[in-house]
Amino acid sequence: MAHKADIFHIHSPADGIIAVGARCCGDQSTDSFLTIMDVTRTDEEIDADIQKHLEDVERKHEARTRALAHIERLKKK
């Protein structure tokens, strides 16, 4: 299964700070937040940070799915 992370929440708790919530495959247990502390950066820099965060969330979810399946196989032995 291909893992796909999306932005599910955006929050600005203070001027100049934005928290971006990412979730993979609609699974709440994968929720992860990126805090953007420098909103004066270019759109391209912000996009790159968010894209990297989404990819990290996808990679972690895929790794957890693989590891859980592996451990279940060991449990059956």
Tell me how far apart the alpha carbons of residues 61 and 65 are, in angstroms, rounded to a whole number: 6
Tell me how far apart the alpha carbons of residues 76 and 68 are, in angstroms, rounded to a whole number: 13
pLDDT tens for 14-65 read: 999 999 999 999 999 999 999 999 999 999 999 999 999 999 999 999 999 9
Tokens encoding 50: 């968010």
Q: Does the predicted TM-score (pTM) go above 0.85?
A: yes
Tell me how far apart the alpha carbons of residues 5 and 38 are, in angstroms, rounded to a whole number: 23
Amino acid 76: pLDDT: 74
Three-class secondary structure of residue 23 per DSSP: strand
